């Protein structure tokens, strides 16, 4: 399936069949409980709040708690995020084998340092190409992780982590984003070691 559903995903398309390329930030499948909480003026107009699903108005997220950006509460943060179609897809999609192997070859220590650098260069400050700076897939597992954890662009960062788009990220904020990314990677890559191991596939 090549199609990209920018808003509502039709009923005859199954969630399990959706790949990252099929969806965008605004995609929803509200009748299956998968929404979109990015901040949109349309939500404000239609539902009197930007903190609800822009399509159906579902008000599901405990924003005060999510916005504490407390890494110790990451389970709750991730559980909340999975109410969004885009995050759900990135948490469940099959990751390209090349990306898994490449992650195992590098190991956690190297991945963490790479993740921190990518976060700084992609979302450290606002860019005019915001929303397009993080590829949807590929050999770099950090791409998947950034979309899954809403650290892919400044719009997602603002919605989920309450950091205004015009602010330059502090080192604490970069560290927080890096920690989220690493939690995703360690959950999705089996047996990831601290140091890289030679995995030949």
Q: Where do contacts with Zn ion occur on this chain (CB under 5 A)?
A: 28, 30, 35, 53, 55-56, 58, 152-153, 156
CA distance 94 to 33: 21
Q: Taking the complex as a whole, how short is the minimal distance between the CB of residue 135 and Zn ion, in angstroms? A: 12
Backbone angles phi, psi at 118, to 5 degrees: -65, -40
CA distance 153 to 131: 5
Q: Taking the complex as a whole, how short is the minimal distance between the CB of residue 150 and Zn ion, in angstroms? A: 6
**Residue with smaller CB distance to Zn ion, 108 or 158:** 158
Any idea of the CA torsion for 123, 175, 150, 112, to the nearest 10 degrees?
90
Q: Taking the complex as a whole, how short is the minimal distance between the CB of residue 195 and Zn ion, in angstroms? A: 31
The two structure tokens encoding residue 70: 């407390």
Q: Taking the complex as a whole, how short is the minimal distance between the CB of residue 126 and Zn ion, in angstroms? A: 12
The continuous run of DSSP H or E covering 157 comes out as helix 154-161
If DSSP codes are grouped into helix, strand and coil, which group holds residue 29?
strand
């Amino acid at each position: 399936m090549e199609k990209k559903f920018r808003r509502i995903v039709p009923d005859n398309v199954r969630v399990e069949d959706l790949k990252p390329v099929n969806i965008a930030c605004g995609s929803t499948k509200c009748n299956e409980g998968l929404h979109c909480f990015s901040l949109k003026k349309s939500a404000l107009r239609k539902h009197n709040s930007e903190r609800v699903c822009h399509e159906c108005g579902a008000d599901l997220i405990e924003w005060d708690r999510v916005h504490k950006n407390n890494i110790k509460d990451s389970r709750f943060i991730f559980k909340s995020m999975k109410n969004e179609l885009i995050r759900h897809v990135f948490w469940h999609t099959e990751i390209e084998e090349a990306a898994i192997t490449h992650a195992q070859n590098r190991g956690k220590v190297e991945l963490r340092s790479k993740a921190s650098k990518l976060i700084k260069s992609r979302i450290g400050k606002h860019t005019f190409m915001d929303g397009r700076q993080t590829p949807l897939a590929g050999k770099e597992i950090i791409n998947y992780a950034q979309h899954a954890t809403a650290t892919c662009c400044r719009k997602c960062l603002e919605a989920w982590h309450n950091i205004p788009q015009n602010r330059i990220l502090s080192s604490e904020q970069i560290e927080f984003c890096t920690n989220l990314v690493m939690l995703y990677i360690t959950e999705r890559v089996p047996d990831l070691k601290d140091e890289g191991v030679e995995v030949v596939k």
